[in-house]
Amino acid sequence: VSNSPEDEGISRDDVFIADLFARAEGEIIPMHPDYNPNEGLERFLEQLGNGQPTVPPRPSREVVSPGLGGGAIEQQVTVAIIEDHPVVTEEVASWIRSDPGQRVRLVHTGADLTGLLTGPRALADVVILDLELSGELVTAQIPGLVAAGYRVVAFSGRCDPAIVRETMDNGADVYASKEEGSDHLVEAVLAVAADRPYVTRSEAEAILADQRPDRPALSPQEQQALRLWFQGMSKASVGRRMSVSENTVRQYISRARARYAATGRTASSKDALLAGPSPDAPCQ
């Protein structure tokens, strides 16, 4: 990266504005008389006296700038894990922690839904939900979570296509089997948080196995793309087989999933799902 003003195209306007910003740095504390600039200093000095100072926790998503042209800062996607097996919770948490970009932040764990539905607003952007809590299926609870503002990534050891469809019908954004979790869970969380569709092979299987008379109608291309992909082909290979581009394959698969989403999703998310293909849909 070049540093020279000529290469960077730095004009006199730029220098002038930079001077104004430099001045702003000197003025900014007096502009906020309600804030104590040294609020953290005493805490730091105390920690310094007691031992190694600790780095403060990352600020919450709800932190909103009160002014000066600022606003809420783009932050990590927040996630809650509802799972009644602590070992699984820890495993999912470890996938989140090992994300190199640290794009997801775990803010809540629980063995049931109690903590998620009692507050005035959603605790997290996305809920990773074990479908079987204390031996009972909780698919019927998904509409309540959606209504409370959560996006739902169902995560289950159950692979029965009927349960997958029921989960999708109830408004879950993604169904991931526990075998698919380590590869796809973080990406699925990020996709649904951004209202992007994300299709797993479990969902493809459930759609292909659907024999209900009122099932959504898929086009022949959508069915073929889903079938080939579910059989283990990469989307690129499916594209070559069907003589279409890989991106078109993504569209076929996402549209097929969106037809199912249309039965149980809220309008805004449904629109988002129908809007376009998923760039992050899992494929080999």
Partner 1 sequence: MAERLDDRHRSELAACAKCLWEHVYAFAMLVTCSDHALAQDVTQSAFAAALPEWPRLRCLTEPERERWLKRVAANKAIDEFRRNDTAEAHRSAVWERCRPRETDTHRDAMVAVAFERFWKAIDRLPPQAYRAAVMRWRLDMSERDIASAMGIAQKTVSSHLSRVRAELRVELGDYWPIDRDGREGGASL
Instruction: Provide the minimum distance between the beta carbon of 167 and partner 1 in the complex, in angstroms, as a whole number.
Output: 29
Q: Is 41 in the site for partner 1 (CB under 8 A)?
A: yes
User: CA angle, corner 60, sides to 153 and 37, nearest 5?
Assistant: 170
Nearer Cβ to partner 1 (58/85):
58
Nearer Cβ to partner 1 (30/135):
30
Environment class of 108 (CB within 10 Å of its CB; exposed 0-12, middle 13-18, buried 19+): middle
Start-to-end CA distance of the chain, whole Å, equals 35
Q: Of 8-16, 128-136, 225-233, 242-250, which part binds partner 1 (CB under 8 A)?
A: 8-16
Nearer Cβ to partner 1 (79/82):
79
Q: Is 24 in the site for partner 1 (CB under 8 A)?
A: yes
Q: Of 63-71, 159-167, 242-250, 254-262, which part binds partner 1 (CB under 8 A)?
A: 63-71
Three-state SS string over the chain comes to CCCCHHHHCCCHHHHHHHHHHHHHHHHCCCCCCCCCCCHHHHHHHHHHHHCCCCCCCCCCCCCCCCCCCCCCCCCCEEEEEECCCHHHHHHHHHHHHCCCCCCEEEEEEECCCHHHHCCCCCCCCEEEEECEECCEECHHHHHHHHHCCCEEEEEECCCCHHHHHHHHHCCCCEEEEHHHHHHHHHHHHHHHHCCCCCCCHHHHHHHHCCCCCCCCCCCHHHHHHHHHHHCCCCHHHHHHHHCCCHHHHHHHHHHHHHHHHCCCCCHHHHHHHHHCCCCCCCCC
Position among 6, 26, 87, 135 found at the interface with partner 1 (CB under 8 A): 26
Residue of 277, 131, 108 lying closest to 202 (CA atoms): 131
Q: Is 38 in the site for partner 1 (CB under 8 A)?
A: yes
Are 60 and 122 contacting, i.e. CB atoms less than 8 angstroms apart?
A: no
Q: Of 67-75, 89-97, 142-150, 158-166, which part binds partner 1 (CB under 8 A)?
A: 67-75
Within 96-125, the residues that bind partner 1 by CB under 8 A are 100-103
Q: Of 36-44, 79-87, 130-138, 179-187, which part binds partner 1 (CB under 8 A)?
A: 36-44
Q: Is 11 in the site for partner 1 (CB under 8 A)?
A: yes
Q: Is 49 in the site for partner 1 (CB under 8 A)?
A: yes
Q: Is 56 in the site for partner 1 (CB under 8 A)?
A: yes
Position among 3, 134, 243, 268 found at the interface with partner 1 (CB under 8 A): 3
Q: Is 90 in the site for partner 1 (CB under 8 A)?
A: no
Q: Of 19-27, 110-118, 218-226, 259-267, which part binds partner 1 (CB under 8 A)?
A: 19-27
Q: Is 43 in the site for partner 1 (CB under 8 A)?
A: yes
Nearer Cβ to partner 1 (59/119):
59
Position among 45, 140, 162, 236 found at the interface with partner 1 (CB under 8 A): 45
| Interface with partner 1 (CB under 8 A) | 1-3, 8, 11-29, 31-32, 35, 37-41, 43-45, 47-49, 52-59, 63-75, 100-103
